[in-house]
């Protein structure tokens, strides 16, 4: 009942528990019919529980994937930052390369002018001309004739500067190429990682949604089966109560006719003065429709409730007026034994079960040992076992 009602109410699906229609059906349902309906409801409850377990597992896997996705997202962010840094470094290196290339070109031009000047002044191919015309370039020439000889000649500084500019330009050219490759590689890897993570999360989300849909379908079946059980029980209890009431009335009439002695004072509420089972169903069903709304001191809806505010408004929908205080609600109807509860009855809890003045909480019975209540600050209106807060001090069936 907890899973079924909780799921349906959370989804906004009304949980209606219709009573057995006695019109045209004078014979109430048998205990065997009730037992069969209960067995069917238990089987469906077991199937729902198994599906709920699968859904919980799927949600856990999704949560794990989402954590992994968060970790990988941070890595992706880091990669993008690194890529941006590489792009900036690439741009800086490109600028340095352009400067080095200009210096290299200027050095080559100075070498050319130096060679032309030497040729014109020497009237032929001197050492500088030989150096520039060497198949191995200036370096090959230097290796061939010996560094000392060339450095002793005109243009030594120009040649050295040209060599240095060539080295610098080559280094910057290689660095720019390496940065560009790294930038493109990191960006591609980050994009692939992002797509892979997103695909995994999307697949798991689809699986969770499918599991939820199946769970919700089973929950509807369970609620329907439990509603049927409640209707059968209500009809049987009504028939038994009617028979007991008739027998009691007959016995009372006989006792009254046979004795004129004084009688004891009647209780403030007669046991038959409580609201009908139909009214109890209305109150219980309306309370279930408020599941998930926050607890708030002194609140009585429509968005927040405290415990007595929820019971007051629930029974107002059934046509019964209650006061907004657990101590007063304890006296607003006949007390009923816990083994004779019907849907809608109020369950009270005290710090001392021998003292009604210590009552501090109230909930609405919904059947199968469960109740709906607004428990405490920080909690939501929810379904609890009637023994979740402790053993009840007692129960009241509000009087109409």
Percent share of the chain, pLDDT over 90: 32
Dihedral of the CA atoms 335, 341, 343, 344 (nearest 10)?
A: 20
Q: How confident is the model over 100-158, as pLDDT tens digits?
A: 778 778 877 876 776 666 556 654 445 555 555 556 666 666 555 554 454 445 456 66
Query: Which pLDDT score, from 0 to 100, does residue 243 have?
Result: 60
**Predicted confidence (pLDDT) at residue 168 exceeds the cutoff of 60:** yes
- pLDDT of residue 293 exceeding 90, the answer is yes
Determine the Cα–Cα distance for residues 392 and 364; give it in Å rounded to an integer.
12
At 293 the three-state DSSP class reads coil
* pLDDT score, position 318: 94
- What is the predicted pLDDT for the residue at 233? 81
| Residue 286 to residue 362: CA distance in whole angstroms | 16
Flag the least confident range among 113-122, 333-342, 387-396: 113-122
The answer for residues whose C-beta is within 8 angstroms of residue 41's C-beta and 6 or more apart is: 222, 225, 226, 228, 229
Residues 275-400, CATH architecture: Alpha-Beta Complex (3.90)
> Quick one: pLDDT at residue 74?
67
pLDDT, averaged across the chain: 77
Nearest to 184 by CA among 79, 266, 327, 287: 79
How does strand 346-350 pair with strand 335-336? unpaired
Least confident of 44-58, 169-183, 319-333, 374-388: 169-183
> Checking DSSP bridges between strand 335-336 and strand 394-396, what pairing results, if any?
antiparallel
- pTM for this structure? 0.37
- What residue ranges do the domains of the chain occupy? 1-240, 275-400
Count Cβ atoms below 10 Å from residue 81 Cβ, excluding itself. 10
Tokens of 155: 């243009």
How many other CB atoms are found less than 10 A from the CB of residue 108? 15
Q: Which pLDDT band, with edges at 50, 70 and 90, does 13 fall under?
A: very low
Give the CATH class of 1-240. Answer: mainly alpha
Per-residue pLDDT of 56-76, as tens digits, reads: 998 998 888 877 776 666 667
Distance of CA 221 to the CA centre of its chain: 25
Residue 374, helix vs strand vs coil: coil
Q: What is the pLDDT of residue 328?
A: 93
- What is the per-residue pLDDT for 337? 95
pLDDT tens digits for range 239-285: 666 666 666 666 666 555 544 433 333 346 776 788 999 999 999 99
C-alpha 120: how far from chain center = 88
pLDDT digits (tens, 9 = 90+) for 190-213: 777 778 777 888 988 898 999 889
Place 171 in a pLDDT band, splitting at 50, 70 and 90: confident
| Exposure of 102 in the CB half-sphere (CA atoms within 13 A) | 5
């Amino acid at each position: 009942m907890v899973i079924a009602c909780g799921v349906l109410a959370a989804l906004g699906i009304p949980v209606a528990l219709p009573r057995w229609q006695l019109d045209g059906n004078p014979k109430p349902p048998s205990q065997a019919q009730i037992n069969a309906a209960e067995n069917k409801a238990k089987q469906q409850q077991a199937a729902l529980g198994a599906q709920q377990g699968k859904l919980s597992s799927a949600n856990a896997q999704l949560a794990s994937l989402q954590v992994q996705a968060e970790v990988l997202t941070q890595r992706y962010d880091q990669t993008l930052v690194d890529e941006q840094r590489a792009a900036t470094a690439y741009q800086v290196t490109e600028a340095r390369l352009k400067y080095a290339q200009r210096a290299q070109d200027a050095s080559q031009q100075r070498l050319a002018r130096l060679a032309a000047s030497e040729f014109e002044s020497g009237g032929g191919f001197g050492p500088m001309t030989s150096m520039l015309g060497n198949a191995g370039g200036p370096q090959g020439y230097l290796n061939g004739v010996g560094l000392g000889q060339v450095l002793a000649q005109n243009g030594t500084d120009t040649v050295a500067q040209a060599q240095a500019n060539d080295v610098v330009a080559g280094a910057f050219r290689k660095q720019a190429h390496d940065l560009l490759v790294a930038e493109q590689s990191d960006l591609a890897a980050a994009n692939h990682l992002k797509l892979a993570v997103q695909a995994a999360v999307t697949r798991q989300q689809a699986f969770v949604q499918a599991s939820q849909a199946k769970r919700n379908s089973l929950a509807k079946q369970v609620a329907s089966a439990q509603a049927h059980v409640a209707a059968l029980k209500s009809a049987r209890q009504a028939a038994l109560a009617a028979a007991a009431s008739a027998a009691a009335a007959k016995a009372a009439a006989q006792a009254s006719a046979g004795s004129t002695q004084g009688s004891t004072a009647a209780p403030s509420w007669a046991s038959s003065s409580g609201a009908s089972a139909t009214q109890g169903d209305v109150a219980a069903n309306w309370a279930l429709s408020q599941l998930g709304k926050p607890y708030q001191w002194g609140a009585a809806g429509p968005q927040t409730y405290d415990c007595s505010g929820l019971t007051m408004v629930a029974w107002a929908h059934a046509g019964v007026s209650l006061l907004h205080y657990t101590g007063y609600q304890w006296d607003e109807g006949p007390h009923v034994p816990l083994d004779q509860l019907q849907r809608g009855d109020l369950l009270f809890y005290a710090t001392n079960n021998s003292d009604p003045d210590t009552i501090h909480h109230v909930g609405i019975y919904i059947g199968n040992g469960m109740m709906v209540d607004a428990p405490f600050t920080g909690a939501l209106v929810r379904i609890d076992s009637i023994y979740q807060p402790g053993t009840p001090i007692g129960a009241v069936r509000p009087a109409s």
